[in-house]
Copies of this chain bind each other. A is one copy, B any other.
């Protein structure tokens, strides 16, 4: 369950307040130059610190346990861990019996029969995405010259993101956002019918990022209100370039050389300090809850680099699979 990919394969582990979170990346080709500093840029983009993000401070320093030798990948599994340090677990004791609305507390307790580690969200924590960002850095090297870029294009319903964040701070509330991801220099032919379309695998991985509730490719939901003559992209070159790109760079689940474009919706962070209604499952009574602890009020701020990583991981796997039939 906690793994993804067919050839370039990732396995994730860890809990937010456990000893460490990490990832094992299997199937990576040997001979890719890789140093811990290569991760710095993307890890910094994922990190908290900006206005609207949590006050938990982790140095997010990657420790390579295996798979890299003399500055290159070896072809063996790459294991990377991140120690957890700035942990205040006492904040979480009460959620055992009083599940936070909008959060995984309730389902985790039921699913794992009370044995899950709920501190800091446990295995459901966004902190697990550190591994995904790590895999993304490597995947980006593999898919070069494809270039994947994601940006927060809207937060709290506004295009002016700073303003939206400021408003949320003032309201003591959290907000969601919309992220757009665009990959350029795409080849033709990535993706696999019938069940592993590009849309299938990107959405699979992107929906595992905590907070994502919607994904649309190309014109997305707008396509439902278009006619064929409006939506079809006229082909204007033997390389497959089209005049418009309503398809988001994908036909029949396969990349067509045009930019791969999709957008995702991130919901507002569940943990807010406003009074909310929930139930004390032990006492079976309604209670009011104000969530303390340190939380992001706009988690969408930190997600673009994770979406890039997810996209790069999927594309790397597709590229390697394509080589098998060449």
CB distance from A184 to the nearest CB of B (A): 18
Instruction: Count residues of A near B (Cβ-Cβ below 8 Å).
Output: 153
The complex places the Cα of A217 from the Cα of B11 at a distance, in Å, of 25
Q: What string of 1s and 0s marks CB contacts (under 8 Å) between A59-78 and chain B?
A: 00001111101001111111
Of chain B, the residue at the smallest CB distance from A107 is: B254
Q: Please determine whether A223 and B106 come into contact, CB atoms closer than 8 angstroms.
A: no
Q: Please determine whether A30 and B252 come into contact, CB atoms closer than 8 angstroms.
A: no
- Chain A residues 98-138 with CB under 8 Å of chain B are 99-104, 106-108, 110-117, 122-124, 128
Q: What string of 1s and 0s marks CB contacts (under 8 Å) between A181-216 and chain B?
A: 000000011011111110111011101101011111
| Interface status of A292 (Cβ within 8 A of chain B) | no
| Interface status of A277 (Cβ within 8 A of chain B) | yes
Q: What are 25 residue pairs bridging A and B, where the CB atoms are less than 8 Å apart in the complex? A: A1-B193, A1-B196, A1-B321, A2-B193, A7-B324, A12-B195, A13-B79, A14-B65, A19-B65, A30-B115, A31-B114, A74-B115, A74-B117, A75-B115, A108-B252, A111-B189, A154-B224, A178-B221, A213-B248, A223-B266, A224-B266, A231-B267, A235-B279, A243-B277, A247-B267
The 10 closest A-B pairs by CB, nearest first: A104-B252, A157-B225, A214-B216, A174-B228, A1-B192, A102-B232, A30-B115, A76-B123, A75-B112, A199-B207
| Interface status of A305 (Cβ within 8 A of chain B) | no
Instruction: From A37-45, A49-57, A268-276, give the one contacting chain B.
Output: A268-276
| Interface status of A176 (Cβ within 8 A of chain B) | yes
Most buried by B among A251, A255, A279: A251
Of chain B, the residue at the smallest CB distance from A219 is: B213
Given contacts A108-B254, A203-B207, contact A247 B102 (CB under 8 A): yes
Given contacts A19-B63, A79-B22, A321-B7, contact A224 B277 (CB under 8 A): no
CB distance from A204 to the nearest CB of B (A): 4
Copies of this chain in its oligomeric complex = 4
Note all chain B residues with C-beta closer than 8 A to A197. Answer: 207-208
Q: Please determine whether B324 and A240 come into contact, CB atoms closer than 8 angstroms.
A: no
Note all chain B residues with C-beta closer than 8 A to A324. Answer: 7, 27, 29, 320-321, 323-324
Most buried by B among A248, A253, A297: A253
Q: Please determine whether A168 and B227 come into contact, CB atoms closer than 8 angstroms.
A: yes
Most buried by B among A192, A207, A236: A207
Note all chain B residues with C-beta closer than 8 A to A326. Answer: 323
